[in-house]
Structure 1
Amino acid sequence: MKSTKFLATALAASLALMMAGCAGGAAADTGTGDGSSSAATDDGSGGKVQGITDTEVLIANSAATSGAYAPVGVPFIAGIQGYLDMVNKDGGVDGRTITFLHTDDEFDPAKGAAALTKFIEDDKVFAIVGHFGTPVVAATVDTLKESGIPSVYFATGIGQLYAEDATTDAEGANLFPVQPLYRTEGGIMAAYAAGKFGATKIGIIYTNDDAGSDLEKGAVSQITSMDGVDYVEEQVAAGAADVSAAVTSIKNADVDFVIIAAIQGTMPTIVKELAAQGVGKDAITSYVNVSSAMSDAVSADIQGKFDLYGPGWVDYSTDTAQASLADFQANVDSQYANNVYAQTGWIAASFFVEGLKRLEGKEVTWDSYKAAMEEAPIQNPFGGTIDYSNGQRKGTQQMSLSKVVPVSDANPVGWEPVEPLQSIDALLGK
C-alpha cells in the first residue's frame, strides 16, 4: 500500500481539478425511476417526503461521465455506487435499500439543470448526493434551495454553498457541503498564519474571480476576529501576467506572512514575483494548488528564499481512515481501488448514509433528515469531522498543511505534509 503521507497529499492534489471546476468509461444513466417511490407528500407536520418507501430510498445526481471530465466523473460515480453496494449488501438502512440514479450531464449547466428537474419532479427522489462541478452547481443551487430537497456533497467550493447560520432552505439549510469551501479555507489559512507562524501582519494577494474573492473574504473575516492581527491586501486580475505592483505593495507593507488567494492560473505568477522581489516571507495558498504541476512550477524559484504551504482535507494515518480505506478497496470496482476521485464519491455516499442511520426507527422526512444531519458532527471516512449544527454550512472545517518540495521519484507530488488536520480553534489554542 502507498504511504499514508503520499496518499493524503495525492488526494489533495488530484482534487484540484474538481475544485477548480473551471472547474469526470461508463456514461449512460445507471437507473430510472420505476414508480415504486412515493409521490411528494406531507407527513402532517410540514415535513415533506418523497422518494422513500418501507423498502427503498431513491437518490440521484448528474455528473460528467463523458468528455473531458470523464476521468473525474466516472470514478466519482463508481465510489458512490461502491459505498451504497456495501450498505445494501448488509440489508440497507432500517430495512431500506438505497437506489442511485445517475445521468451524464457532460459538465453542461443546461443539461445538469434539466437532469435535476427530472430527478425532483418526475423521479421524485429523496435526495441529491454528489452534485458535481462548479458550472452545474452554480446554475442549479437556487433550484435546490427552492425545492428544499436534501443535497449532500458538492464537487466544488463555490461561495453560494457557504452559510454560517442557515435556518431556512432559502438560506441553504437543505445543503450539506463536504469538500472545502473557499471561504472556510480562507479562514483556515489565516488561522495557520497566526497560530502556526505567529504572524501579526498578514499580506493577502487575491484574484478578482470567484475563487480568489471567496478565499479573501474568509481570510479577512478570520483575521478581523483575532486580537493583535492586522492585514493589508492587493487584488490582481485572474490570469494576470504582471503582478509586480501588487507584490511591491505587499513588500513595502513589511508583512510577516503572505496569503495567496488565487488558483492555478495565477498562483505561480504571484509566487515567482514574490521571489523575484525578495519578499522572503513564508506564504500559503489554496489546496486547489497542491499538485505536482504547481510545485514543479515554483519550487526552483523559492528555494532558499521562503516556504510555500498549502492545506489539505484528508488524513490516512488514523485507524478510522485505514479501516475505511480497506472497506473502500474491498467494495469499489477494482479498477478504482487506488483512485482518489472514487474515494471522494465514497465520502459523499458515507455522509448521506450517516443521516439515514440517525433516523433508524423514526419517521423519515426531509425535515427530520436535515435535523439528523445537524444533531452531531459527522466523521469523514478519510479525514476530520464536519459540524452542521446551528445552520453551519461551511464544508470541511479541519485542514492539514503541506509545503512545496522539489518533485522527485521519492515525492512525485512535490508537497511534503508538515501538520495534521486541525480546526481554526485548535490552531489558535482555543
Structure 2
Amino acid sequence: MVSTNKIDKKRIWVDGCFDFAHHGHAGAMLQARQLGDSLYVGIHSDEEILVNKGPVVMKLAERVLAVSACKWASVPVPDAPYVTDPVVMDEYGCFYVVHGDDITTDANGEDCYRVVKDAGRFLVVKRTPNISTTDLVGRMLLCTKNHHLRTIQGREIDDAVANARSGKAKDGLLTRESLEKFETYATGEDGRSAWDGVYVWTDDDRHLRPIVQPSSELVKKTRKVVYVDGGFDLFFAGHIEFLRQVSAEVEQLSRQAGEPVGLVVGVHSDATVNEFKGLNYPIMNLFERALCVLQCRYVSHVVLQAPYVPTLAFLDTLPWHTIKVYHGPTSFSHGVADPYAGVKAAGKYAEIGPHQYQDISTETIVERVTSNRGLYEERQRRKGWKAAAEDELWRRHA
C-alpha cells in the first residue's frame, strides 16, 4: 500500500471492524466519502477486535475484501489500530476521521476517538439505525423471523410506491425511508451523483417497475447486460468474489462487443429464500440485502423480488439485452430442480469457476456463530455493558 505524508483535508479516514458487509457499514463509508474526494478505510485486526470487543465472525481477509468492494472506499488499510491514531492517518495523508453519532470505546472503556477529537480532526455523521453486527448475531442466536418482509404483489405495487413517497407506508419493503436509502445507495463512486437503477419485479403480473431511475450515462452503458441472481444473505466473501469475477467477465465481453456491458443483479424475496433455506433464513431481509448489493462497485442495476427461475420470458421483460446469465460454483439445494435449465438450453448460461471463498455460505457463517455460542453470547453481553458505558460518555460530552 502506498502512503503519503502530504496531508489533505479532502482525503478522509474512516475505520472500524466491518464485521459483516452490512448496509450500516456501507452507509458510514458513503457519508464519509461525501465529505471528501477520496476515502481511506482502516480495518482492525482480528486480534485487536478480540481484545476490545470480542471474537470476529469474518476474518481480516474477508473484511478487507468487503471494504474493497464498496464503491465509496478508495483505499483499504488493513491492521489499523483500534484506537484511532493521528500518526497512522498522517501516513496516508488524511486530516479528518469520520465516525457515527455514537461513542465507541476500547477494552478500558475509553473513547476510541479521544485523541483525534482533542486534535480537532473528528467529523460526525449519522449512524445507520436498526442494523449492526450485534443485531445480526442476535438474529442467528435467537432464530428470529420478525425481520422478514412481505412480498409485494403487482396489484398493490403502484399504491405501495405512492404510499411510500407520501410517507403513509410505515413498514415493509417500500417506505419513504427505504426509497430514500435506495436512492442514496444508488449514487456513484463520489457518493453524490445518481448512477445505479433499482427495480421491483412482481411475479404475479410478471412486470418490472423502476423505483430508482439510473443515470442517463449508465443507461447508455448498459444496453447489453449479464444477469446474476441469488439471496445474497449476509453478503459475504463468496458473494463478493463471485461478483468480482463476473465483473471481470463483463469487461471482457465489453471488449469483444466493442461497447459497454452492464451487470444486473436479481435479489430474491424473503419468502423465496425461506422457501428453499427454511428455519429463519434469510438472516438479512430483502431491504438489507439489496442495499448490500447496491453498494457493491461491480453492480449496475438491482432487481428486487427477482424470480427464483430466470426464465427467458423474464429476461425478455428486462429493459436490456441480456447476453449471459452467470452462476457460481455452488450447488443447488438437494431435490431442487435446476433453475437455469431454460437459459442453459438457450446457450445463455455461463459459470464462474472455483475460487478461494466458494465453500463459504450463509449456513457456514451461521455455524461459525452457533458453534461458538458461548463466545458470541459473551460478546453480546459485553456489547450491552459497553453500550451503557458509551451512552454515559455520550451524555457527558453532548
TM-score (norm 2): 0.26
Higher relative contact order (CA 8 A, sep 6+): 1
Q: TM-score, normalised by structure 1?
A: 0.25
